[in-house]
Chains A and B, each alone.
Chain A
């Protein structure tokens, strides 16, 4: 008796709570964990002020986002993907193969990548060459720069005599992270190219160039600290010798406990990154499926909210959250892309 009544109750609950599979009435967004804190603010603002349903945002990483986004057209696939890098040609190809042909690319602003250490230690003054030498798996032999040897440096002083004699211990994101991709490209590659012999290699043997410049050491000098930047901040407080790598918004929120390292004479401040003088900053994007704009309710409203001055403008709420706004003319350009729904050229 008991069992049958429980079974019946179960069936009834299911029948009541499961309405017919209707078309999706909310925006589905996936993509970069770097853009996530900014996109969520816009989504919330949009939902609260217009009374529309608040978009759903998954933080899947830039690569994971493109994979889902390029899966196809239809309510089962996301409408927008956020990215902390531009779409790759291979991803565009996947998109096109699955029928996702009209994509709108919108740049939303910039993010600085900072190296930081605890306030209890002295601030570091680094160059990208120093960082490369400290973190690469293989480096040019100091005696004979033509020869590539396994990284012999144990302390910052060995890398550059003006730096303190503390052990090299850098906490940073794992290879799946967009922050890591950008760090490798903006810091490691640039530091690597300061060696003429390696720079020459870029033309002759690109594969070997990448292997030298982009491979991070695995002997304990670089510690993969996961995607949780708050955790890195806590570890830095506990260990004054360690240096962490993360997005500017985490430095911005924790200026009382950590300090950003000066890179090539530039401090990682909001102003320096916005001016473009701080060397390690990258653009942030989102990509929209044009075919969904008129199908999913609220798409135009969300896009308009994102492109409004009170969001991505100089004093907008995204700047308060740590995103570096684009200059006036770029904002105008991408504002027009949104209002005209101008699609990218497919390669």
Chain B
């Protein structure tokens, strides 16, 4: 306080600011710098996150393949059903014929482990698709084992002691020979985008989870959007103002803050145990997630209805429109962009949710691609969680790649929300 008293009358001279004024300027500069620092810090965290995910994950979009000359000899297919033929045996024979010098049992086993167990499935598919190839020899590119793939991606150190490496010295020599013969190559990993989950990292794909997420969100959207919009319209336009509507309003706000796992428990108790809907299916997941997104949509809907000026309503009513016509023809279309933004953000939230799905059994190993909302399915974040927990090293890159895909969807949905808001926003 005493400084103000000491301040001479020159305070008003801006060319020679007083000590007090200089202090205030300095404080202001620091305040600005702090704000900037906060933004720089959070951007740095995001950049670090993106960098670490990208640098771990980009390799997952390529996968190593080995070229095999498979002899589909007719005598192998004497069984009544094609599926009963010894396809793993065909793969082994093809490997042995490439390295005829390997004759010990142990050596053969080490040799066979270079090829993914999925190679046999591929041969089976080929024969079932075109039985005419029986009796011929075909060059087939099959997936290499996950250890070979990790070596090619530089994630296994050749200089490490043999006992600490997952690939032995003789295996490294075979791999080098395959590479120089152009029989071991990295190709674009289409499989990752078309396959379901698998316990073999080289075979695991994201499509099952993407489709599961899509079906789940479809249910969520079809339920929560109409219900949310209807509730918002009723509460904002029609409901009388009394303690009951106050109570409802408080509870909607409360619901928006309830931890998501609680909705999972509710879903387990009502949808699965009481209604008897099948566990682990998108229909239950969608129901649970729509409970979770409803409050978000209602709150956003009410806010955008509120922002429509009363003059619009009054004008419509003035020319003789009914209350319902006013709302449907005039108020709702004007409020729609805001409502859609709220819905998209709610959907993006639902897309990233795992906790409530844990309770209703969607955190599960599911290989088959879900075909309908009553088939068991996983969703994207669940797939990430499951892969992150798998012991095989090669799942690390798959985890990061799945995160990249989930982030892409989220960024896309959020930008769509921003775009819609910018495009249809009306300034009054």
The CA of A44 and the CA of B205, in the complex, are separated in Å by 13
Residues of B in contact, count (CB < 8 Å): 58
- Known: A2-B332, A58-B363. Contact between A228 and B225, CB under 8 A? no
Interface residues of A in 1-60 (CB under 8 A from B): 1-3, 6-7, 9-11, 13-14, 17-19, 21-22, 24, 26, 28, 30, 33, 36-37, 40-41, 43-45, 47-51, 53-54, 56-59
For the complex formed, measure the closest distance between the CB of A6 and the CB atoms of chain B, giving whole angstroms.
6
Q: Are B156 and A3 in contact (CB under 8 A)?
A: no
Residues 267-306 of chain B: 1 if any A CB is under 8 Å from the residue's CB, otherwise 0? 0000010001111100100000000000000000000000
> What CA separation (Å) do A255 and B162 show in the bound complex?
10
The reply to whether A10 and B157 contact each other, CB–CB distance below 8 Å, is: no
B225 CB, min distance to chain A CBs, angstroms: 7
Docked complex Cα distance between A45 and B199 (Å): 10
B364 within 8 A of A: yes
Given the interface pairs A40-B199, A57-B364, A250-B391, the reply to whether A51 lies near B83 with Cβ below 8 Å is yes
Indicate whether B169 reaches chain A with its CB closer than 8 angstroms: no
Asked whether, in the complex, the Cβ of A21 is within 8 Å of the Cβ of B374, the reply is yes
A8's closest neighbor in chain B, by CB? Answer: B226
Within 8 Å of chain B (Cβ to Cβ): is A322? yes
Min CB distance A326 to B, Å, is 20
Number of A interface residues in the complex (CB < 8 A): 56
Cβ-based interface call for A177 (8 A): no
CA of A321 to CA of B113, assembled, Å: 12
Q: B328 contacts A1, CB within 8 Å? A: yes
Known A10-B226, A49-B83: A21·B278 in contact at CB below 8 Å = yes
Chain B residue, CB-CB nearest to A255: B164
Cβ of B229 < 8 Å from any Cβ of A? yes
Knowing A2-B333, A3-B332, A10-B226 touch, does A253 contact B83 (C-beta < 8 A)?
Answer: no
A249 contact from B118, B364, B376, B391, Cβ within 8 A: B391
Q: A58 near B121 (CB under 8 angstroms)?
A: no
Asked if B111 is at the interface (CB within 8 A of a chain A CB), the reply is no
Chain B residues whose C-beta falls within 8 Å of the C-beta of A252 in the assembled complex = 391
Closest to A253 in B: B391
Q: Which residues of B contact A51 (CB under 8 A)?
A: 83
A-B contact pairs, 5 of them (CB 8 A): A6-B225, A18-B283, A59-B364, A255-B166, A321-B391
* B interface residues (Cβ-Cβ under 8 A, vs A): 83, 109, 113, 117-118, 120-121, 124, 156-157, 160, 163-166, 198-200, 215, 218-219, 221-223, 225-226, 229-230, 272, 276-280, 283, 328, 332-333, 336, 361, 363-368, 372-374, 376, 386, 388-393, 396
A-side residues, CB < 8 A to B, are 1-3, 6-7, 9-11, 13-14, 17-19, 21-22, 24, 26, 28, 30, 33, 36-37, 40-41, 43-45, 47-51, 53-54, 56-59, 76, 119, 227-230, 249-250, 252-256, 315, 317, 320-322
A-B complex: 8 closest residue pairs judged by Cβ atoms = A10-B222, A54-B367, A57-B365, A58-B364, A40-B365, A56-B376, A253-B391, A256-B164
